[in-house]
Amino acid sequence: PGQGKFGEIEVNFEKSSIMDEVFGKSALVQCRHHQAVCEIGKGLSATGNFNDGVIHSIEGNEGLKYLVGAQWHPEQTRDTKLITSLIKGAKN
């Protein structure tokens, strides 16, 4: 895709992750990137992958109530589930 245009891929989520709670088993997401997560930092887990093994979501796993990272553009879609989840997480 060209600048400002995104491809659509299906990301599969780990069972019982925040992303699984938000989207279910998988979701079609808008992405365009040339970089990817290579190493997961301490206190984080990979929770979403594309079928080629590229990590597309990470989450905190050390007592934090809500820490989510997405390797796509949730702001570029009409699906507001992740943004709504972020707002709920911030309230708690």
Q: Are 12 and 22 in contact (CB under 8 A)?
A: no
Total number of domains in the chain: 1
Is residue 48, in this structure, part of any structural domain at all? Answer: yes
pTM score: 0.84
Is residue 24, in this structure, part of any structural domain at all? Answer: yes
CATH of the domain at 11: 3.40.50.880
Is residue 1, in this structure, part of any structural domain at all? Answer: no
Residue-range definition of the domain harbouring residue 69: 7-91
CA-angle at 80, arms to 61 and 46, nearest 5°: 25
**Per-residue exposure over 35-65, b if at least 16 CB sit within 10 Å of its own CB, e if not:** eeeeeeeeebebbbbbeeebbbbbbbeeeee
Give per-residue pLDDT as tens, 27-67.
999 887 778 888 999 999 999 999 888 999 999 987 778 89
Q: Which residue blocks in 1-92 are alpha helix, DSSP H?
A: 18-23, 81-91
